[in-house]
Chain A
Amino acid sequence: MAKVFIYPSTSLILADLVMRYGHTPLSSAVAIREHIQTAGFESAPLQISPEDPKKGLKWAAVEVPSGVRGRMALYGPMIAEAEAAIIINDADLAFGCMGCARTNELIVFLLRQKEIPKLDLNYPAGEEEGVKFVAAIKKFLSGLGGRP
């Protein structure tokens, strides 16, 4: 069972297909859950504490907005432990302000730099594309091992 980083990291479709074909999706929810289940000082809503932008320095320089560094404290460790990645390139939902948009760019950049199996796709725009989309993901995931 491989740990597969999914981008967009909130994607229902990717999280489901990765789980369905026997692997572990690394998504935003996993990192958020870890944060909100850890005791400390209250820092609502996501328990992103002042320590997190410091942790983010591992992936982004100090002049990069703290929003990017704080987000990287969530995604950076998951990218580090990822054994494979599935990237959807035309994900309109992965837009946002300086923090979200730049973090997304940095995530894709770091995934491209990392020497792990990667699958690049676009969202399907029809039924036949849907078949190709699911088949591509299934083939990619079966190449990583796990249940067929």
Chain B
Amino acid sequence: MKEYAPVHVGTITRYVVVESFEVTPQDLAIRAYEISKGVMIKETCFGLTIMGKEEEVDRIIDELRRVDPAHIFVKDRGFPPGDARRCRSSLGGARPGFHGMEFEMTVIPYISHGIEELEKRDEKSIPEAKNPLDRRTLDVDHLKKIIDAQET
């Protein structure tokens, strides 16, 4: 067994995903470089990966969110940018986790719309979201009627 010496201990990495008609990952990268101090910023096709001390990363993300608040999304990443265990330059194919993000990108325009509408509308006027656990179960008597109808 080989000894494992971790790198970038004490840092965090976050994805900044942009899904906007007005802002591109390049715009965000330029803005992030302008205001960053001692963090690693990597521009990707969907946004940025930012690694550094938590306070500094959060500060940059707060600034970046102001560019287009409803269309910039942030999540944590376990590995630092370009890590050989995750980076597709060394693995080939899609990055593990890409497909999950790809699926959510189809839903994200609705979320952006929701965030924007919530700023304009009174929250109390918005009907409650449907609870998926409130499923109507099939009544036994009704099931029997269906079976009888099929048999006759």
Q: Which residues of A contact B (CB under 8 A)?
A: 8, 10-13, 15-17, 19-20, 25, 27-33, 35-47, 89-90, 92-93, 120-127, 129-136, 138-139
Given contacts A29-B75, A29-B76, contact A41 B2 (CB under 8 A): yes
Residues of B within 8 A of A124 (CB): 107, 110-111, 114
Tell me the smallest distance from the CB of A11 to a CB of chain B, in Å.
Answer: 7
B29 at the interface (CB under 8 A from A): no
In the complex, the answer to whether A129 meets B133 with C-beta atoms within 8 Å is no
Give the A-binding residues of B (Cβ under 8 A).
1-6, 8-10, 12-13, 15, 17, 73-79, 85-86, 97, 99-101, 103-104, 107-115, 117-118, 121, 123, 126-133
Q: Is the CB of A131 within 8 A of B117?
A: yes
Query: Which of B13, B79, B110, B128 sits near A126, CB closer than 8 Å?
Result: B110
B75 touches A12 (CB 8 A): yes
Shortest distance in angstroms between B72's beta carbon and chain A's nearest beta carbon?
9
The answer for the CA separation of A29 and B97 in the assembled complex, in Å, is 11
Is the beta-carbon distance between A36 and B6 smaller than 8 angstroms?
yes
Contact B126 A132 (CB under 8 A): yes
8 contacts between A and B (CB under 8 A): A45-B85, A121-B132, A124-B107, A130-B109, A130-B114, A135-B123, A135-B129, A139-B123
Contact check, A37 vs B76: say whether CB atoms are below 8 A apart: no
Shortest CB distance A1–B (Å): 13
Partner of B76, one of A33, A89, A134, A138: A33
Which one of A12, A31, A33 has the greatest number of beta carbons of chain B within 10 Å?
Answer: A12
The answer, among B8, B85, B114, for a CB contact under 8 Å with A134, is B114
Would A120 and B123 count as touching, CB distance under 8 A? no
Q: How far is the CB of B63 from chain A (nearest CB, A)?
A: 15
